[in-house]
Every structure is written in structure tokens, then in C-alpha cells.
A = this chain, B = another copy of it.
Amino acid sequence: MRTLKLTLAYDGTTYAGWQRQSCAPTIQGCLELAFGEIEGRTVAVVGAGRTDAGVHALGQVASVRLAHPIDPATLTRALNAKLPTDIRVLHVEEAPIDFHARYGARRKVYRYCLATGPVASPFHRLYAWHLLQRLRLREMRQAAAVLCGQHDFAAFHTAGGDVETGSTVRTIFDVAVTPSRSSDRLEVSSTEYVTVDVVGDGFLRHMVRIIVGTLVEVGLGRRAVLAVADALASRRRDHAGPTAPPHGLKLLCVEY
């Protein structure tokens, strides 16, 4: 047996998320089906982050144990030939035998895309959360700074998720709120883009989306920066902001 590390990109629009389900298409399900055909038996694929339904990925990492001796480049082509075009294997490499995409992950980077303006671009409707009002970036950045560091993020997660350690303490290394300098002239004029990049050692269920939902409240002037600190300290979900919709979110990369 050998262990392989896969880097994946997917458009999550039509999927019920990463995690295998019996009655709905999922990213893990599609990958396991493709691997099963190659390996000739059921294969389990482990993902670094179990993205929600509608969430995208540009650098999801997965690990898989395989008996088949197929070389990485051929495997990449074989998987992409079997997978639907909205899921792509970008890279396959040999990994140490005990490599585990989920347990081994040290840092993950998520990007959330916000679009503001009177009309939502048809080309970003599936990849950005559209808001009519402009956002106050300075206040959003101040609120973002409050969340950086090691904290108990109980207020910023949905209970019932997978909390294997039982702990809701996580470390956020950075939350960057950046107006998107889109050089792409293919934009609906008067639309402004803002990205929120969140870097952490791990994320609770819906954590990035609740962080973004809370920052957007601040950006719209509906919540004071201090109220974000209060929400964090409260450890109560109902003290934080709403869960931002999934389609604005992308798992950018995972570091080991």
C-alpha cells in the first residue's frame, strides 16, 4: 500500500458538500467512485476540510491509500477523465505512508468573496455574496483583528458539527479584509469586490461563514466593533452574526 496526497479544485454549486452521502452528490462521493474504478475495490478518500454544500475549493487536499501502482501523472489524468468537469484533480504526489489530509493539516486558508453594488453580476452570482450597500472596510478590519489569536470560538460555530476534541478553541492567524483589485475588465461596472481571507489552524462547523456574517454586520454599520468582542467572550452562538451564504466561500489551500 502507498499513500497519495491529492490537490483538488471544485465548483461546489451542485454538490451537497464534501462529505459522502447516500442520496446526494458529494465531492468525496465522486472521488471515491473514480478511485474505486481504478483500484477495483472501495477506497476511502480523506479530505482536509469538509466543505459545506455550495462551498467551493481551489486547493482542497485529500489523502488516499492505494494498492494500484499507477504513477501520479497518469492517475491525475485518469481521475480527471472519470470525474465531472466541476471537480478537477490538480496534482497527485506520493506522501509518507502515515500522511492524513485531515489530522496532518496545520493551517487552512479560506477566502470569502463579497460583491457590493446595485446589480449582482451574472458571472459572480455563484461565487460571491452580493450586497446592495457598500461596506465600511476600516470597521470590518478592526472587528477582524478582535478575532485573531487563540480563542474559544463557541459563539462562532454551529453546534452538532464534528468537534472531536470537544474543544471549541482554535487559533486564527489572520483575517484580511481586502478590496479586490480586479484587473478583470469583465466586471459589471459599479460593482465593488471585497475578499475576506481567514487563516487558521482549524475551523469549527460554519465558523468562517459566521465570522463573515458578523463582519458584514459591522461593515453595514449594524454592529459595533466592540459587539464582536462581546460575542466572542459570550461563547453564545446567538450573540454572533448570521451565517453567511455558502457560495461566497472557497477553501484556498491547506498547509502541512
- Is A121 interfacial (CB-CB < 8 Å)? yes
Q: Is B56 a contact partner of A90 (Cβ separation < 8 A)? A: no
Per the 8 Å Cβ criterion, residues 180-218 of A in contact with B are 181-189
Interface residue from B9, B122, B187 paired with A122 (Cβ < 8 Å): B9
- Is A33 interfacial (CB-CB < 8 Å)? no
Per the 8 Å Cβ criterion, residues 81-111 of A in contact with B are 85-90, 111
* Number of identical protomers: 2
Q: Is B119 a contact partner of A123 (Cβ separation < 8 A)? A: no
- Is A5 interfacial (CB-CB < 8 Å)? no
A157 to chain B, nearest CB (A): 25
- Is A120 interfacial (CB-CB < 8 Å)? yes
- Is A129 interfacial (CB-CB < 8 Å)? no
- Is A32 interfacial (CB-CB < 8 Å)? no
The CA-CA distance from A58 to B118 in the complex, in Å, is 15
- Is A80 interfacial (CB-CB < 8 Å)? yes
The CA-CA distance from A221 to B119 in the complex, in Å, is 43
Q: Is B86 a contact partner of A122 (Cβ separation < 8 A)? A: yes
Closest residue on chain B to residue A89 by CB atoms: B119
Q: Is B58 a contact partner of A186 (Cβ separation < 8 A)? A: yes
Taking A58-B188, A183-B182, A186-B58 as contacts, is the C-beta distance between A90 and B119 under 8 angstroms? yes
- Is A114 interfacial (CB-CB < 8 Å)? no
Q: Is A183 a contact partner of B186 (Cβ separation < 8 A)? A: no
The CA-CA distance from A56 to B90 in the complex, in Å, is 27
A91 to chain B, nearest CB (A): 9
Q: Is B122 a contact partner of A11 (Cβ separation < 8 A)? A: yes
Taking A87-B122, A122-B86, A123-B56 as contacts, is the C-beta distance between A186 and B250 under 8 angstroms? yes
Q: Is B85 a contact partner of A122 (Cβ separation < 8 A)? A: yes
Q: In the complex, which of the residues A76, A86, A119 has the most CB atoms of chain B within 10 Å of its own CB atom?
A: A119
Closest residue on chain B to residue A111 by CB atoms: B186
Per the 8 Å Cβ criterion, residues 111-128 of A in contact with B are 111, 118-123, 125, 127
Per the 8 Å Cβ criterion, residues 155-192 of A in contact with B are 181-189
Q: Is B119 a contact partner of A86 (Cβ separation < 8 A)? A: no
Q: Is A120 a contact partner of B88 (Cβ separation < 8 A)? A: yes
Where the two chains meet, the residues of A that have a C-beta atom closer than 8 Å to any C-beta of B are 9-11, 56, 58, 76, 80, 85-90, 111, 118-123, 125, 127, 181-189, 250, 252
* 8 A-B pairs closest in CB distance: A11-B122, A183-B183, A86-B122, A85-B125, A88-B119, A9-B122, A88-B122, A10-B122
